[in-house]
């Protein structure tokens, strides 16, 4: 049994619908998938249904945009309650930030005489959690760039003319947000962050896992993060970060996480829930609960 615990759909900046993504997962022999769209859980209902129909195991998830010491960090939340009020309210604010950022980035493009309209971006995004790839696609569709890569290189990358920094929630608060929604928190793609020095503070904050297996980690990086996970007592997660056709080729199938790692996540969750029930006197036989 194999898992991919990092996947995006058209509910954020992936190109596949949940149903298409599940069909690809099935084709690649995956048995368990987590949906981790950016700052949203909206796709989870459809993904869960599609997984049930294809007899795949589904894990509810999200990828929160956070920051620590001025650096953007992506935190994956797994096994979260997608109806949790605090989580939904935070996601709604993050989505508003994303929508306003799209308007600001388009205004910057207009200032350098690139005639793109924000509505064209929102029409392509067709979701509440739009991001830079949607602006890139709109630029390509309008014939203003020949590829998504060109759009990022010329306009959208950090410090390019349309770049606007994103307001982000503190990573320590995000760990707490995921926990209070009943989930586990893991740092996404540590090898892309290139700042291992942030890990101890997140461990201190209660972070549960590290995405050691990742499509863009070199083998030496995977080994390095497996060692760090062992050193800090962090659970090991892994995923492809497939965005469909966004990055040239779909990455699904590039990471097949051994199911033993999923079992360990579940055991940690059960332990935590048991200890929380114990702490509040909710164990079997205590009638006040």
Tokens 């067709």 belong to 126
The interface mask with ligand AMP, positions 7-36, x = CB under 6 A, is ------x-----------------------
What is the Cα–Cα distance from 70 to 47, expressed in whole angstroms? 34
What is the Cα–Cα distance from 36 to 80, expressed in whole angstroms? 11
If binding is defined by CB under 5 A, does position 74 make contact with Fe ion?
A: yes
Other C-beta atoms closer than 10 Å to the C-beta of 287 total: 5
If binding is defined by CB under 5 A, does position 132 make contact with Fe ion?
A: no
Please list every residue from 163 through 192 that binds Fe ion, using CB under 5 A: 188
Closest CB to ligand AMP among 186 and 262? 186
If binding is defined by CB under 5 A, does position 211 make contact with Zn ion?
A: no
Closest CB to Fe ion among 50 and 186? 186
Please list every residue from 1 through 30 that binds Zn ion, using CB under 5 A: 13
Contact 192, 74 (CB under 8 A): no
What angle do the packed helices 118-125 and 85-111 form, to 10 degrees?
Answer: 140
Residue 268 backbone zone (phi > 0: left; psi -120 to 50: alpha; other: beta): alpha
The interface mask with ligand AMP, positions 120-159, x = CB under 6 A, is -----------xxx--------------xx--x-------
Nearest distance in Å: CB 232, ligand AMP = 26
DSSP-derived 3-state class of residue 15? coil
What is the Cα–Cα distance from 155 to 162, expressed in whole angstroms? 5
- Catalog residues that contact ligand AMP under the rule CB under 6 A: 13, 38, 131-133, 148-149, 152, 166, 243, 246-247
- Catalog residues that contact Fe ion under the rule CB under 5 A: 63, 74, 188, 241
- Catalog residues that contact Zn ion under the rule CB under 5 A: 13
């Amino acid at each position: 049994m194999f898992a991919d615990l990092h996947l995006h759909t058209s509910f954020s900046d992936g190109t596949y619908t949940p149903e298409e993504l599940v069909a690809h997962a099935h084709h690649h022999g995956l048995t368990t998938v987590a949906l981790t769209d950016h700052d949203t859980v909206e796709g989870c209902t459809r993904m869960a249904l599609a997984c049930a129909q294809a007899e795949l195991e589904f894990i509810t998830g999200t990828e929160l945009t956070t920051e620590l010491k001025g650096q953007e960090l992506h935190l994956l939340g797994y096994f979260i309650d997608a109806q949790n009020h605090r989580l939904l309210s935070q996601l709604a604010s993050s989505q508003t930030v994303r929508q306003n950022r799209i308007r600001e980035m388009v205004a910057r493009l207009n200032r350098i005489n690139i005639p793109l309209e924000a509505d064209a971006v929102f029409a392509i995004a067709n979701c509440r959690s739009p991001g830079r790839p949607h602006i890139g696609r709109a630029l390509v569709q309008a014939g203003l760039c020949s590829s998504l890569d060109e759009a990022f290189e010329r306009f959208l990358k950090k410090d390019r003319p349309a770049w606007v920094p994103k307001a982000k929630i503190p990573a320590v608060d995000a760990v707490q947000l995921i926990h209070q929604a009943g989930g586990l928190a893991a740092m996404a793609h540590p090898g892309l962050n290139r700042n291992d020095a942030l890990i101890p503070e997140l461990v201190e904050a209660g972070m549960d896992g590290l995405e050691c297996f990742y499509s863009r980690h070199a083998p030496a990086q995977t080994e390095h993060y497996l060692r760090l996970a062992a050193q800090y007592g962090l659970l090991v997660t892994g995923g492809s970060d497939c965005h469909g056709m966004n990055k040239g080729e779909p990455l699904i199938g590039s990471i097949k996480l051994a199911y033993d790692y999923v079992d360990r996540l579940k055991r940690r969750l059960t332990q935590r829930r048991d200890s929380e029930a114990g702490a509040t006197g909710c164990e079997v036989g205590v009638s006040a609960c």
